[in-house]
Amino acid sequence: MIDAAGEVAAIAALPQSPSTPNWLNDYLRGAGMEMYTETLSASFVGMTFPEAANLLYTKLELLLMALEVQDTGQHRLWINPGSEFPVHSRLTASALRKGFRQMITKAISPAGNGKIVSAHNEHYHVLSTIPTHTISSNSGNDILTHETLLSNGDDSSTNKVYDSTGMFHWCYSQRIEECILDRHQKSLVLHNHVVVCLFADKGSPLIGLRNFVMPLRASNFHYHELKRIVIVGDVEYIRREWKTLYNMPKLSILHGSPLSRSDLRAANINTCDMCVIISARIPNPNEDPTLADKEAILASLNVKAMHFDDQPSHSINSSFTMSAHNSYNLRQTVITDGTQVPMITEL
Protein backbone atom coordinates (compact mmCIF):
# COMPACT_ATOMS: atom_id res chain seq x y z
CA MET A 1 0.00 0.00 0.00
CA ILE A 2 1.40 3.38 -0.97
CA ASP A 3 0.76 6.40 1.27
CA ALA A 4 2.36 9.83 1.31
CA ALA A 5 5.48 8.53 3.04
CA GLY A 6 5.59 5.53 0.73
CA GLU A 7 5.59 7.78 -2.30
CA VAL A 8 8.75 9.50 -1.11
CA ALA A 9 10.40 6.16 -0.37
CA ALA A 10 9.41 4.80 -3.77
CA ILE A 11 10.97 7.72 -5.59
CA ALA A 12 14.13 7.51 -3.50
CA ALA A 13 14.41 3.81 -4.32
CA LEU A 14 14.77 4.44 -8.03
CA PRO A 15 18.16 3.29 -9.44
CA GLN A 16 21.11 5.64 -8.95
CA SER A 17 24.58 5.61 -10.38
CA PRO A 18 27.28 5.23 -7.69
CA SER A 19 29.84 6.83 -9.97
CA THR A 20 28.18 10.26 -9.95
CA PRO A 21 27.63 12.75 -7.09
CA ASN A 22 24.42 12.58 -5.09
CA TRP A 23 23.26 15.99 -6.32
CA LEU A 24 23.64 14.87 -9.92
CA ASN A 25 21.75 11.64 -9.27
CA ASP A 26 18.97 13.67 -7.66
CA TYR A 27 18.89 16.10 -10.56
CA LEU A 28 18.82 13.38 -13.22
CA ARG A 29 16.16 11.44 -11.35
CA GLY A 30 14.00 14.54 -11.01
CA ALA A 31 14.55 15.62 -14.61
CA GLY A 32 13.53 12.16 -15.78
CA MET A 33 10.22 12.20 -13.94
CA GLU A 34 7.15 12.79 -16.06
CA MET A 35 3.60 13.61 -14.95
CA TYR A 36 0.72 12.09 -16.89
CA THR A 37 -3.05 12.36 -16.66
CA GLU A 38 -5.12 9.54 -18.10
CA THR A 39 -8.53 7.94 -17.69
CA LEU A 40 -8.45 4.72 -15.71
CA SER A 41 -9.92 1.66 -17.39
CA ALA A 42 -12.89 -0.28 -16.03
CA SER A 43 -10.45 -2.77 -14.48
CA PHE A 44 -9.95 -0.44 -11.51
CA VAL A 45 -13.64 0.13 -10.71
CA GLY A 46 -14.40 -0.89 -7.13
CA MET A 47 -10.83 -0.65 -5.86
CA THR A 48 -9.81 1.80 -3.19
CA PHE A 49 -7.18 4.39 -4.01
CA PRO A 50 -4.40 2.58 -2.05
CA GLU A 51 -5.25 -0.69 -3.82
CA ALA A 52 -5.08 0.95 -7.24
CA ALA A 53 -1.86 2.77 -6.30
CA ASN A 54 -0.27 -0.43 -5.03
CA LEU A 55 -1.23 -2.36 -8.17
CA LEU A 56 0.06 0.31 -10.54
CA TYR A 57 3.34 0.67 -8.70
CA THR A 58 4.11 -3.02 -8.22
CA LYS A 59 3.12 -3.99 -11.77
CA LEU A 60 4.14 -0.93 -13.76
CA GLU A 61 6.38 1.16 -11.48
CA LEU A 62 3.81 3.90 -11.93
CA LEU A 63 3.24 6.21 -8.95
CA LEU A 64 -0.42 7.20 -8.66
CA MET A 65 -0.59 10.68 -7.15
CA ALA A 66 -4.18 11.90 -7.39
CA LEU A 67 -7.63 11.39 -8.89
CA GLU A 68 -9.73 14.03 -10.60
CA VAL A 69 -13.48 13.83 -9.98
CA GLN A 70 -16.40 15.85 -11.27
CA ASP A 71 -18.62 17.10 -8.48
CA THR A 72 -21.70 19.23 -9.22
CA GLY A 73 -20.26 20.34 -12.53
CA GLN A 74 -16.86 21.22 -11.11
CA HIS A 75 -13.61 19.28 -11.39
CA ARG A 76 -11.85 18.56 -8.12
CA LEU A 77 -8.44 16.99 -7.60
CA TRP A 78 -8.09 14.55 -4.71
CA ILE A 79 -4.42 14.12 -3.80
CA ASN A 80 -3.64 10.76 -2.19
CA PRO A 81 -7.16 10.10 -0.85
CA GLY A 82 -7.59 7.38 1.75
CA SER A 83 -9.18 3.94 1.64
CA GLU A 84 -12.67 5.41 1.92
CA PHE A 85 -12.39 6.79 -1.60
CA PRO A 86 -13.49 4.10 -4.14
CA VAL A 87 -12.45 4.20 -7.76
CA HIS A 88 -15.40 4.50 -10.13
CA SER A 89 -15.68 4.60 -13.90
CA ARG A 90 -14.16 7.36 -16.02
CA LEU A 91 -11.94 8.76 -13.28
CA THR A 92 -8.91 10.72 -14.45
CA ALA A 93 -5.69 9.71 -12.73
CA SER A 94 -2.55 11.79 -12.28
CA ALA A 95 0.54 9.59 -12.24
CA LEU A 96 4.28 10.10 -11.98
CA ARG A 97 6.88 7.89 -13.54
CA LYS A 98 10.45 7.94 -14.79
CA GLY A 99 10.39 7.23 -18.52
CA PHE A 100 6.72 6.32 -18.50
CA ARG A 101 6.47 5.97 -22.27
CA GLN A 102 8.51 2.78 -22.21
CA MET A 103 5.72 1.20 -20.19
CA ILE A 104 3.22 0.31 -22.88
CA THR A 105 0.11 -0.67 -21.02
CA LYS A 106 -3.56 -1.21 -21.43
CA ALA A 107 -4.26 -0.54 -17.77
CA ILE A 108 -4.62 3.24 -17.94
CA SER A 109 -6.17 3.38 -21.40
CA PRO A 110 -9.90 3.26 -22.17
CA ALA A 111 -9.23 1.59 -25.54
CA GLY A 112 -9.70 -2.00 -24.38
CA ASN A 113 -10.21 -4.83 -26.88
CA GLY A 114 -6.87 -6.38 -26.01
CA LYS A 115 -4.92 -3.70 -27.88
CA ILE A 116 -1.70 -2.10 -26.71
CA VAL A 117 -1.75 1.66 -27.01
CA SER A 118 0.73 4.40 -26.30
CA ALA A 119 0.25 8.13 -25.81
CA HIS A 120 2.53 9.82 -28.32
CA ASN A 121 2.07 13.33 -29.69
CA GLU A 122 -1.40 13.46 -28.16
CA HIS A 123 -2.67 10.57 -30.30
CA TYR A 124 -3.18 6.91 -29.51
CA HIS A 125 -1.47 4.45 -31.82
CA VAL A 126 -2.46 0.80 -31.81
CA LEU A 127 0.76 -1.17 -31.88
CA SER A 128 -0.37 -4.78 -31.89
CA THR A 129 -3.11 -7.11 -30.77
CA ILE A 130 -2.19 -9.39 -27.90
CA PRO A 131 -3.62 -12.85 -27.18
CA THR A 132 -6.02 -12.94 -24.28
CA HIS A 133 -3.90 -15.36 -22.28
CA THR A 134 -1.23 -12.68 -21.82
CA ILE A 135 -3.65 -10.58 -19.77
CA SER A 136 -3.95 -11.41 -16.11
CA SER A 137 -7.49 -12.41 -15.23
CA ASN A 138 -6.96 -14.01 -11.83
CA SER A 139 -7.48 -10.75 -9.99
CA GLY A 140 -10.00 -9.34 -12.43
CA ASN A 141 -7.60 -6.64 -13.56
CA ASP A 142 -6.72 -6.15 -17.23
CA ILE A 143 -3.08 -5.37 -16.56
CA LEU A 144 -0.45 -5.97 -19.20
CA THR A 145 2.92 -6.03 -17.52
CA HIS A 146 6.02 -4.27 -18.74
CA GLU A 147 7.86 -7.51 -19.47
CA THR A 148 5.22 -8.81 -21.92
CA LEU A 149 6.35 -6.50 -24.69
CA LEU A 150 9.84 -5.49 -23.63
CA SER A 151 11.30 -8.83 -22.59
CA ASN A 152 13.96 -8.57 -25.29
CA GLY A 153 14.66 -4.87 -24.87
CA ASP A 154 17.76 -3.20 -23.58
CA ASP A 155 18.00 -2.56 -19.88
CA SER A 156 18.06 1.20 -19.95
CA SER A 157 19.55 1.33 -16.46
CA THR A 158 22.80 -0.07 -17.86
CA ASN A 159 22.89 2.54 -20.61
CA LYS A 160 22.64 5.67 -18.47
CA VAL A 161 26.12 7.02 -19.03
CA TYR A 162 26.61 10.77 -19.35
CA ASP A 163 29.50 13.08 -20.02
CA SER A 164 31.19 15.07 -17.24
CA THR A 165 28.55 17.80 -17.43
CA GLY A 166 25.64 15.38 -17.14
CA MET A 167 24.01 17.12 -20.10
CA PHE A 168 24.67 14.55 -22.85
CA HIS A 169 24.62 10.80 -23.29
CA TRP A 170 28.11 9.37 -23.56
CA CYS A 171 29.74 6.09 -24.53
CA TYR A 172 33.26 4.68 -24.49
CA SER A 173 35.43 5.56 -27.47
CA GLN A 174 34.43 3.73 -30.63
CA ARG A 175 36.69 2.95 -33.54
CA ILE A 176 35.26 4.30 -36.77
CA GLU A 177 35.50 0.83 -38.32
CA GLU A 178 33.09 -0.46 -35.67
CA CYS A 179 30.45 2.06 -36.75
CA ILE A 180 30.61 1.46 -40.51
CA LEU A 181 27.49 -0.42 -41.53
CA ASP A 182 27.61 -3.78 -43.25
CA ARG A 183 25.09 -3.52 -46.08
CA HIS A 184 24.00 -7.11 -45.52
CA GLN A 185 23.02 -6.36 -41.91
CA LYS A 186 21.73 -2.81 -42.25
CA SER A 187 18.04 -3.70 -42.21
CA LEU A 188 18.33 -5.27 -38.76
CA VAL A 189 18.82 -1.95 -37.01
CA LEU A 190 17.66 0.91 -39.25
CA HIS A 191 14.19 2.09 -38.38
CA ASN A 192 12.88 5.38 -36.97
CA HIS A 193 16.40 6.73 -37.38
CA VAL A 194 17.92 9.97 -38.70
CA VAL A 195 19.65 9.84 -42.09
CA VAL A 196 22.30 12.50 -42.69
CA CYS A 197 23.19 12.92 -46.37
CA LEU A 198 26.64 14.52 -46.25
CA PHE A 199 28.30 16.01 -49.33
CA ALA A 200 32.02 16.13 -48.57
CA ASP A 201 35.30 14.70 -49.73
CA LYS A 202 38.64 14.10 -48.10
CA GLY A 203 39.76 17.70 -48.60
CA SER A 204 36.53 19.46 -47.59
CA PRO A 205 36.71 21.81 -44.56
CA LEU A 206 35.41 20.48 -41.27
CA ILE A 207 31.89 21.70 -40.49
CA GLY A 208 31.59 20.39 -36.92
CA LEU A 209 29.22 17.43 -37.14
CA ARG A 210 29.43 17.25 -33.34
CA ASN A 211 27.26 20.38 -33.14
CA PHE A 212 24.60 18.56 -35.13
CA VAL A 213 24.77 15.35 -33.10
CA MET A 214 24.96 16.77 -29.56
CA PRO A 215 21.37 18.14 -29.30
CA LEU A 216 20.12 14.71 -30.37
CA ARG A 217 22.07 13.15 -27.48
CA ALA A 218 20.86 15.49 -24.74
CA SER A 219 20.39 13.82 -21.35
CA ASN A 220 16.77 14.93 -21.10
CA PHE A 221 16.09 12.11 -23.60
CA HIS A 222 15.97 8.63 -22.13
CA TYR A 223 18.51 6.29 -23.69
CA HIS A 224 15.87 4.27 -25.52
CA GLU A 225 14.49 7.50 -27.01
CA LEU A 226 17.77 8.32 -28.75
CA LYS A 227 17.40 7.88 -32.49
CA ARG A 228 20.22 6.21 -34.36
CA ILE A 229 22.02 8.63 -36.66
CA VAL A 230 23.21 7.20 -39.98
CA ILE A 231 25.65 9.36 -41.94
CA VAL A 232 25.72 8.63 -45.68
CA GLY A 233 28.90 10.08 -47.17
CA ASP A 234 32.65 9.81 -47.63
CA VAL A 235 34.12 7.81 -44.75
CA GLU A 236 37.51 9.52 -45.16
CA TYR A 237 35.95 12.91 -44.44
CA ILE A 238 34.06 11.52 -41.45
CA ARG A 239 37.33 10.03 -40.19
CA ARG A 240 38.68 13.58 -39.83
CA GLU A 241 35.66 14.54 -37.71
CA TRP A 242 35.64 11.29 -35.76
CA LYS A 243 37.70 12.50 -32.80
CA THR A 244 34.76 14.73 -31.84
CA LEU A 245 32.15 12.02 -32.45
CA TYR A 246 33.51 8.74 -31.09
CA ASN A 247 31.93 9.21 -27.66
CA MET A 248 28.44 9.68 -29.10
CA PRO A 249 26.20 6.59 -28.83
CA LYS A 250 24.04 5.16 -31.62
CA LEU A 251 26.08 6.61 -34.47
CA SER A 252 26.55 4.72 -37.75
CA ILE A 253 28.28 5.42 -41.06
CA LEU A 254 27.33 4.22 -44.54
CA HIS A 255 30.12 4.87 -47.01
CA GLY A 256 28.53 6.08 -50.23
CA SER A 257 27.02 9.01 -52.08
CA PRO A 258 23.85 10.88 -51.10
CA LEU A 259 23.02 11.03 -54.82
CA SER A 260 23.05 7.24 -55.13
CA ARG A 261 19.60 5.74 -54.76
CA SER A 262 21.07 2.36 -53.88
CA ASP A 263 22.95 3.97 -50.99
CA LEU A 264 19.80 5.75 -49.84
CA ARG A 265 17.88 2.48 -49.96
CA ALA A 266 20.70 0.82 -48.05
CA ALA A 267 20.15 3.44 -45.34
CA ASN A 268 16.43 2.56 -45.28
CA ILE A 269 15.52 6.15 -45.99
CA ASN A 270 11.87 5.19 -46.35
CA THR A 271 11.72 4.15 -42.68
CA CYS A 272 13.64 7.09 -41.21
CA ASP A 273 12.12 9.75 -38.98
CA MET A 274 14.10 12.52 -40.67
CA CYS A 275 16.46 12.99 -43.60
CA VAL A 276 18.94 15.86 -43.29
CA ILE A 277 20.97 17.01 -46.30
CA ILE A 278 24.21 18.87 -45.50
CA SER A 279 27.08 20.01 -47.70
CA ALA A 280 30.67 20.64 -46.62
CA ARG A 281 32.05 21.30 -50.08
CA ILE A 282 33.73 24.60 -50.97
CA PRO A 283 31.87 26.33 -53.84
CA ASN A 284 33.84 26.42 -57.07
CA PRO A 285 34.80 30.08 -57.67
CA ASN A 286 34.60 29.48 -61.43
CA GLU A 287 30.94 28.44 -61.26
CA ASP A 288 27.86 30.58 -61.18
CA PRO A 289 27.14 31.40 -57.48
CA THR A 290 23.54 30.31 -58.00
CA LEU A 291 24.84 26.74 -58.48
CA ALA A 292 26.51 26.60 -55.07
CA ASP A 293 23.69 24.50 -53.61
CA LYS A 294 23.08 22.33 -56.64
CA GLU A 295 24.13 19.07 -54.95
CA ALA A 296 21.84 19.59 -51.97
CA ILE A 297 18.94 20.52 -54.24
CA LEU A 298 19.57 17.55 -56.54
CA ALA A 299 19.72 15.22 -53.54
CA SER A 300 16.39 16.56 -52.27
CA LEU A 301 14.76 16.07 -55.67
CA ASN A 302 16.34 12.63 -55.95
CA VAL A 303 14.79 11.50 -52.67
CA LYS A 304 11.39 12.91 -53.62
CA ALA A 305 11.50 11.02 -56.93
CA MET A 306 12.12 7.64 -55.28
CA HIS A 307 9.48 4.94 -54.97
CA PHE A 308 9.44 2.14 -52.42
CA ASP A 309 7.70 -1.20 -52.06
CA ASP A 310 4.28 -0.97 -50.46
CA GLN A 311 5.12 -3.91 -48.17
CA PRO A 312 6.94 -3.22 -44.89
CA SER A 313 10.48 -4.54 -44.85
CA HIS A 314 11.52 -7.21 -42.38
CA SER A 315 13.38 -4.53 -40.47
CA ILE A 316 10.11 -3.68 -38.73
CA ASN A 317 9.89 -7.13 -37.22
CA SER A 318 13.57 -7.15 -36.38
CA SER A 319 13.31 -3.87 -34.52
CA PHE A 320 10.88 -5.48 -32.08
CA THR A 321 13.52 -7.97 -31.05
CA MET A 322 16.64 -5.84 -31.36
CA SER A 323 15.28 -2.55 -30.04
CA ALA A 324 12.05 -3.25 -28.24
CA HIS A 325 12.19 -0.01 -26.24
CA ASN A 326 11.51 1.86 -29.48
CA SER A 327 8.59 -0.35 -30.46
CA TYR A 328 5.98 2.14 -29.30
CA ASN A 329 7.28 4.59 -31.89
CA LEU A 330 7.09 2.43 -35.02
CA ARG A 331 5.55 4.30 -37.91
CA GLN A 332 2.07 3.03 -38.62
CA THR A 333 1.90 4.13 -42.28
CA VAL A 334 4.25 2.61 -44.83
CA ILE A 335 6.03 5.18 -47.00
CA THR A 336 5.77 4.28 -50.67
CA ASP A 337 6.80 7.59 -52.23
CA GLY A 338 9.82 9.81 -51.66
CA THR A 339 7.63 12.87 -51.21
CA GLN A 340 6.49 11.34 -47.91
CA VAL A 341 10.02 11.21 -46.47
CA PRO A 342 10.47 14.02 -43.88
CA MET A 343 13.40 16.13 -44.99
CA ILE A 344 15.53 19.14 -44.02
CA THR A 345 17.94 20.60 -46.58
CA GLU A 346 20.74 23.03 -45.76
CA LEU A 347 21.06 25.71 -48.44
**Pairwise CA distance, residues 56 & 47, whole Å:** 12
| Cα 81 versus chain centre, distance | 34
CA Rg, the chain, in Å? 24
Higher pLDDT, 109 or 274: 274
pTM above 0.85, yes or no: no
pLDDT 10s digits, 54-105: 888 888 778 888 888 776 667 778 888 888 778 877 778 877 776 544 443 3
What are the structural domains, with CATH classification, of the chain? 4-151 (3.30.70.1450), 158-345 (3.40.50.720)
**Range scoring the smallest mean pLDDT among 73-77, 105-109, 158-162, 312-316:** 105-109
C-alpha pair distances (Å), 273 with each of 16, 227, 320: 32, 9, 17
φ, ψ of residue 109 in degrees (nearest 5): -120, 140
How many other C-beta atoms can be found within 10 angstroms of the C-beta atom of residue 83?
10
Phi/psi for 336 (5° steps) reads -115, -10
> How far apart are the C-alpha atoms of 56 and 37, rounded to whole Å?
14
Q: Of 139-143, 186-190, 239-243, which range is least confident?
A: 139-143
